[in-house]
Structure 1
């Protein structure tokens, strides 16, 4: 197996995941070598530790400055594990990374993760539960669950989630090309260690804009107090638009310090409308995961329609070609302003999963 070689810290999780699934050694050099604090960050080291827990026989070597990483993948074993994600990146940052690995594990994965459930850098756990897991089910990995036991907000975190994921022998090809029309909006306004009135005001503000366009809008409140509220106070909003064909588009807004609930609700509604305006069957957050799962799929044609390629999506296309030899055909649809992508999967199989 030839070694995959990359420079820089971009696409860190996906590079490790693709190396693991393809069975190829990985070398990453020049990791923040020009910065005042060079090398890997704590959260990237945390992801490596999580990867070591989920696999058997992997080898990780990091030089003294942390600017060079050598990784030899092992066998994905799954099973029950606990992991502290810290407070630099959210729990979702770790979950997004290991999702493609979880479905190809030797045993079903049960993860207990602690840290931030919501922040301004990453997708929220509510978004993962409402949109990312249904995408996984579309590819054949049905039955994945995510339960929020404690809400953890920045800067101190203190959140806790339970994640479980089934295993599959191989993924299904996808045909996500009909975006349909938006028929309803669902959402959750959460708050922790503050008055529940904050969440109520967020809901009223979000509905104020959306109800002008759609009658079926329901946003429920989720108030956490005491130990269930983690270590820091705060509030925010997650909105999900569902189309007539079952496509899901979602946005997250976490309130900055001193922000008004009304501003958070209005911003969430505006961001959701912008996501809908872009079109497509997958939102900008789920785009990279879908493209990677298409590359991992059976040797059959998979298609997806997206609004516009994000930088993360473009990096995933390059990585799929490097790791699995999968090349995507990209066609712009001028009528709808969307982009249609198709590919032949690499046929990755989980030989630990018995044929039933």
Structure 2
């Protein structure tokens, strides 16, 4: 481990929790002590919220590290990582803080642990401002598998805003190394499918309205769109919530997602159209990865062996932030090659080994 502490400014670019998540993950994987200042300075309420603190505590335990400044509201932390250990870990956010974001910070670390890792995570399964767990399992996981890794996932209970209370169980097997990925052509659509759900005391017809609106929009580019409509079992999802997740697969192996959560003052057909339009935007741009997966692939590309080349749409601020932090903490350098409405992201990975 380097004795030099690298300092990261949390107010740069996106200025939110993503800077912290990526910096902490790379700190652990590269055995590099870090100090993160101005945490979430770009948010209305700066500093660590419970969701960020729980993620920090979880990965600090996984790497047997030392954490300074780990408390609610803290705007500065220091992390000294040690060896990544497999085993059983639990992390519960009392609020509807996103389980998917907890997994984002922990998963790359677990891929390089010394043995299998079993996680029990609690919080929000379907939350605003974060990927729904259904997106994480049905879109992000197939992308991760192209890099040569995967995870097992069991949904125990759904948790919606504002109560949370969701619970998932995850099993991760370590890899020796990630492999580079090349996705440059989106190809032709082969299937479009998804899930439109309601829960709690909400009427089932909401799921049909969302699905019908999304299908009508998507039928312009793909016939036989299959979106399942259903009401969640009360034992799994007792609280009120509704939303939709859509997956598009192409002939070249691209997996593109679109999703939206229902809102109290929003018509359900608008929710369905939002999810469909995310799919359409990605396809119009010729993107092989949608905007939600775009920033999540950056750390995988940086860790893999070989040169990864992936076509995306317009670079999101989250993606620019991910690239910025990775380049600060590692020797990896990214090339962005404009190509019509899309961009090709390229980099030679670190070829990190467990």
Question: How high is the TM-score relative to the length of structure 2?
Answer: 0.91
Query: Once the 2 structures are TM-superposed, how far is the Cα of residue 145 of structure 1 from its aligned partner?
Result: 2.1
2:66 to 59, 68, 82: 59
**Given the alignment of the two structures, is residue 39 of structure 1 paired with residue 47 of structure 2, yes or no?**
yes
2:344 to 325, 340, 343: 340
SS at match of 2:236: helix
- CA 199–27 in structure 1, closer or farther in 2 if over 3 Å, else same: same
Contact 1:81 1:111 survives alignment (8 Å): yes
SS at match of 1:52: helix
Query: Once the 2 structures are TM-superposed, how far is the Cα of residue 109 of structure 1 from its aligned partner?
Result: 1.8
Query: Once the 2 structures are TM-superposed, how far is the Cα of residue 259 of structure 1 from its aligned partner?
Result: 2.8
- CA 37–308 in structure 1, closer or farther in 2 if over 3 Å, else same: closer
- For 2:224 and 2:59, the matched residues in 1 are separated by 42
- CA 34–238 in structure 1, closer or farther in 2 if over 3 Å, else same: closer
Residue number in structure 2 paired with 1:167: 174
Contact 1:183 1:216 survives alignment (8 Å): no
- For 1:197 and 1:34, the matched residues in 2 are separated by 39
- CA 80–199 in structure 1, closer or farther in 2 if over 3 Å, else same: same
Query: Once the 2 structures are TM-superposed, how far is the Cα of residue 246 of structure 1 from its aligned partner?
Result: 1.3
Structure 2, unmatched stretches of 5+, are none
**Given the alignment of the two structures, is residue 315 of structure 1 paired with residue 321 of structure 2, yes or no?**
yes
Residue number in structure 2 paired with 1:30: 38
2:183 to 172, 176, 195: 176
Matches within 5 A, 1:320-331: 320-331=326-337
- For 2:272 and 2:252, the matched residues in 1 are separated by 26
Contact 2:287 2:342 survives alignment (8 Å): yes
**Given the alignment of the two structures, is residue 113 of structure 1 paired with residue 115 of structure 2, yes or no?**
no
- Matched residue count: 344
Residue number in structure 2 paired with 1:140: 148
- For 1:216 and 1:16, the matched residues in 2 are separated by 44
**Given the alignment of the two structures, is residue 224 of structure 1 paired with residue 226 of structure 2, yes or no?**
no
- For 1:53 and 1:216, the matched residues in 2 are separated by 47
**Given the alignment of the two structures, is residue 189 of structure 1 paired with residue 196 of structure 2, yes or no?**
yes
SS at match of 2:186: coil
Q: Deviations over 1:13-35 (max 9, x none)?
A: 00100111111101112335798
**Given the alignment of the two structures, is residue 244 of structure 1 paired with residue 251 of structure 2, yes or no?**
yes
Query: Once the 2 structures are TM-superposed, how far is the Cα of residue 213 of structure 1 from its aligned partner?
Result: 2.5
- CA 82–269 in structure 1, closer or farther in 2 if over 3 Å, else same: same
Question: How high is the TM-score relative to the length of structure 1?
Answer: 0.90
Instruction: State the Cα RMSD in Å.
Output: 2.0
Contact 1:294 1:345 survives alignment (8 Å): yes
SS at match of 2:244: strand
Residue number in structure 2 paired with 1:353: none
Matches within 5 A, 1:255-266: 255-266=262-273
Residue number in structure 2 paired with 1:209: 217
SS at match of 1:169: coil
- CA 288–266 in structure 1, closer or farther in 2 if over 3 Å, else same: closer
SS at match of 1:76: coil
- For 2:338 and 2:46, the matched residues in 1 are separated by 40
Query: Once the 2 structures are TM-superposed, how far is the Cα of residue 221 of structure 1 from its aligned partner?
Result: 2.5
